[in-house]
Structure 1
Amino acid sequence: MKNRVTGLGGFFFKTKNPDQIKEWYKTHLGIPTDQYGWTFWWHDKDGNKCSTQWSPFEEKSEYFSPSDKPFMMNFRVENLTELLEILKEEGVTIVGETKEYEYGKFGWILDPENNKIELWEPKDSVFLENN
């Protein structure tokens, strides 16, 4: 497999009041937040338009489980199915089942310190069609 991770797909963190945090970042740093946080748009080395998501989550969210950390990274990948097979062979802990949505496929792993990492094979075109 040539490329495993192709970019940062997102950074997610827990907070006591996600709406208040989004408003603070909007007011003080000029981040144009929406209900999910903020989507950064950028171009990869081939000129493709790509996205990275910044999102605060409710402090009690279970989305980062089984990790007890207050954050989760999301990495963009080229071929999620193949990558998960390779990672499993390498002894990496796979969490849950792969899920697919109109905007891409998702899988999850744990690093050696029990940080949950979300792997995303994106379909950026879905976001571009809606903008």
Structure 2
Amino acid sequence: MSDKGEARVTGLGGVFYRVKDPAATREWYREVLGVDGPYGPQFDWEAEPMAHPYSLISHFEDDSYIKPGKNGFMINLRVHDLDGFLKKLEKAKVKVLDKADEGYGKFAWILDPNGVKIELWEQVEDRLP
């Protein structure tokens, strides 16, 4: 581990992308996913229940993992109690594209109203695999 006083990158600060209607997109994130903030969905790490939460940036040679998203990127959102959250999405009539349990985490995929693929991820191991 690196020294906490060392100048370094400490994590993902945000995801920024263009949409035709930012207000409608923010409303969808607020209503469907339950996340809000002054500039769009905002997450506070101190609210994270895992002892060692992590985020990652992953690179792919092609967009097969990102499809059916249309924009060449995907947003991964951390979720506490993915199964319970999927029940909420079902009530909101959000189509779940697929689900998987990889051992180190549980996953599900949806599309936002702009066709951006969102990967919902419940961290189940304390550290990176």
Structures share fold, TM-score greater than 0.5: yes
Q: Within the alignment, does 1:104 sit opposite 2:105 as a pair?
A: yes
Q: Aligned pair count?
A: 87
**Partner SS state of residue 97, structure 2:** strand
For residues 124 and 69 of structure 1, the distance between their equivalents in structure 2, rounded to whole angstroms, comes to 30
Alpha-carbon distance between aligned partners in 1 of 2:60 and 2:81, rounded to the nearest angstrom: 27
Deviation per CA, 1:96-119: give whole Å up to 9, x if none: 2x2111211000111111111000
Pick from 94, 116, 122 the counterpart of residue 92 of structure 1.
94
> 53, 73, 76: which one pairs with 1:74?
76
Higher strand share: 1
Secondary structure of the residue aligned to 1:108 is strand
Q: Which ranges of structure 1 fall in alignment gaps of 5 or more residues?
A: 1-7, 12-42
Please give the alpha-carbon distance, in whole angstroms, between the structure 2 residues aligned to 1:61 and 1:95.
Answer: 16
* CA separation of 1:47 and 1:100: change in aligned 2, threshold 3 A: closer
Secondary structure of 1:94's match? coil
Question: Given residue 77 of structure 1, which amino acid in structure 2 is its aligned partner?
Answer: V
**TM-score if structure 2 supplies the norm length?**
0.58
Structure 1 residue matching 2:57: 3-state secondary structure: strand
Q: Structure 2: 5+ residue runs without aligned partners? A: 1-11, 16-44
Contact 2:52/2:127 (8 A) holds in 1? no
Residue 61 of structure 1: how far off its partner (Å): 2.8
- Alpha-carbon distance in 1 for matches of 2:86, 2:71: 22
Equivalence for 2:118: 117
- 1:16 aligned residue: none
Amino acid in structure 2 at the alignment position of 1:84:
L
Correspondence for 1:56 among 32, 56, 59? 59
**8 A contact 2:63–2:72 mirrored in 1:** no
Distance 2:64 2:95 in 1: 18
Change (3 A) 1:80 1:100: same
TM-score, normalization: structure 1? 0.58
